[in-house]
Amino acid sequence: MSRGRMLAELSSGRSVLQCTAAIAVAVACSGTKTPNETGHAPAAPVQTPATGRTNGGAPAQQSEDGQWMMPAKNYASTRFSGLNEITADNVKNLHLAWTFETGILRGQEAAPLVVNNTMYIVTPFPNYLYALDLTKPGAPMKWVYKPRTLAAAQGVACCDVVNRGASYADGKIVYNTLDNQTVAVDANSGAELWRTKVGEINLGESLTMAPLVVKNKVIIGNSGGEFGIRGWVTALDLATGKIAWRAYHTGPDSAVLIGPRFKPFYAEDKKPNLGVQSWPGDTWKIGGAGAWGWISYDPDLNLIYYGTANPGPWNPDQRPGDNKWASSIFARDPDNGEAVWAYQMTPHDLHDYDGVNENILLDMPVNGQTRKVLIHPDRNGYVYTIDRTNGQVLSADPFGYINTSKGVNLSSGRLEPNEEKDPHIGEVVRNACPASPGAKDWQPSAFSPVTGLIYIPHQNLCQDAESVEANYIAGTPFVGMNVKMSPGPGGNRGFFDAWDPVARKLVWRINENFPVWSGALATAGNVVFYGTMEGWFKAIDAKSGQELWKFKTGSGIIGQPISYRGPDGTQYIAILSGVGGWSGAIVAGGIDSRDSSAALGFTNAMADLPGATNKGGTLYVFSLR
């Protein structure tokens, strides 16, 4: 296959709240139940939140300054705004305040930032950074920074040329460009302060994730699991851009920064050099396991938490073994990168179940005792509750339909695969659920300390898969799997869920026709927001799940909504509209819907999307006034 055709297919600080869910319900953590032969799914939801709960004072503990300075709002990754002018009672009066055109018609996945009465927007490739003046009517552009991104980077972008946003710290806007540059820009003037090259296009590496600034470190990770990269996470000095440390996710312990402090909870993870020993030969050198998702930080424990991506190639027969540390969660010291613990959600990943999804940090009761946990809705279909001090899995419950595995053994932490759905060369596996994008992909959830619920945007997809031999050539696709995706049970392709992390159950659910590929936003006014791939931006009652308001934008929404207080004291809601990403590649990449295996099989499930939305690149901002 030509490179061009393949690429077309591939693209076809302590003051921050660490949320506490003070909930007076004790829950036993007995693990997941073994499903029947047809798979398993979360229990049918009730239509009202769980009773007998108090959500004690978490909003009051947060100093809500009305700004939005990092993609997830805070280090705990709650995506919760303490602003409450917009409520479930008055959100029906929300109206369009102003718009801004980015001029870039690819997938708009970034969260805008709001700092000191200025809004900052990062676009998809070529990764322009816009600064908009919120003190003036219509928020005119103050300046634009154009990083001169190399066009060749588009050739190693797996799933659209997206960018997931920026972070603000110490007068700087820092973000990544597709061609493996991390840049720092003066937030006032737009002048470039430093630029650091951190990866190589020719090795298949790219950068799409949003950095997190922890103390004086800018934490970033690479993309490229479908191109035979070797995944890593890296810290740059905030003042100079110089690389402070780098931790690989495959290879010897010395390269993974595993040393005396590394104390994983499960015995089998304590063996030395698993990043080599769990791979055949030297395949770990091209084993994927990037870090293109989200990073959280606990200031009290001084640990960052993040997930790693799939092992490469997709064809599992070419990489027997657990393939450490792909599809895993790491806890690291941000000062020097040392690993403190790690846990692999999906050993020997068979279905492209990256582990890069968000980790929401909560302090909540588990079995009658308050525990410091992280909540991780994984691509493999389970919501994990993990003790963030040591990596112990306290519970793992299905939140989507699953037939590729039978549950998670809490004694060993091991996922129990369903061998009937294992792909092998020369065979076609039918109706494997969830599909490769998982029960949930990168699109981030939100947590409300007011309701005690997590709001999870996700998809409902299954797939047929055929393993084929993949040959490694540096900088070219390295996949080894033919895939066709299709809607999951019920026929709808998306869900927006409210999940009770203490009771470990679904509270309410909204069915959507297409995958819900946007992030979620929760607010103190008991309203949650999300967007659909048809272009509807919706406001939902956070307690009941009732739709309260919606607005039709010009393109499908795959961005991350935010809330901020304007210079006039008004609460605003902002969202970028512009379809794309893996799910929207058929539109953004202009892919022919007759090629059902294009975009790594997603095209087959989205053949009707071009009839529902067009390309776009517009910021929409809403208010009550």
Q: Residue 16 CB: number of other CB atoms within 10 A? A: 16
Question: How does DSSP classify residue 226?
Answer: T
Per residue, the 3-state secondary structure of 267-295, as one string, reads HHHHCCCHHHHCCCCCHHHHCECCCCCCE
317 is catalytic: no
Enumerate the β-bridge partners of residue 245: 235
Residue the block writes with tokens 């820092």: 174
- For residues 204 and 476, give the distance between their C-alpha atoms in angstroms, rounded to a whole number: 7
Nearest to 510, CA basis, from 553, 558, 457, 552:
457
Contact 187, 120 (CB under 8 A): yes
Sequence-distant (≥ 6) Cβ neighbours of residue 495 within 8 angstroms: 400, 456, 457, 458, 459, 460, 509, 510, 511, 512, 516
Q: Are 616 and 108 in contact (CB under 8 A)?
A: yes
Three state DSSP letters for 538-557: EEEECCCCCEEEEEECCECC
> How far is 127 from 178, CA to CA, in rounded Å?
7
Is residue 523 classed exposed, middle or buried when 0-12, 13-18 and 19+ CB atoms within 10 A define those classes?
Answer: buried
Q: Which strands sit side by side in the sheet containing 494-500, from one edge to the other?
A: 446-448, 453-459, 494-500, 505-512
Choosing from 74, 163, 310, 380, the catalytic residue is 310
Would you give the distance in Å from CA 491 to the centre of its chain?
24
Burial (0-12, 13-18, 19+ Cβ within 10 Å), 226: buried
Tokens of 437: 């994008």
Coil vs helix vs strand at 481? strand
Q: Give the alpha-carbon dihedral of 4, 469, 357, 344, to 10 degrees.
A: -160
310 is catalytic: yes
Catalytic hit among 226, 298, 464, 500: 226
The CA distance from 526 to 498, in Å, is: 13
In whole angstroms, give the CA distance from residue 270 to residue 180: 33
E strands within 427-570?
428-432, 446-448, 453-459, 461-467, 481-487, 494-500, 505-512, 521-523, 527-531, 536-541, 547-552, 562-565
Quote the CA–CA distance of 205 and 202 in Å, as a whole number: 7
CA distance 615 to 599: 17
The catalytically annotated residue of 109, 352, 466, 500 is 352
| Torsion sign (Cα): 98, 101, 106, 111 | negative
Residue 501 Cα to chain centre, angstroms: 18
CB atoms under 10 Å from CB of 50, counted, come to 16
Per the annotation, the verdict on 64 as an active-site residue is: no
Q: Catalytic site residues? A: 226, 310, 352
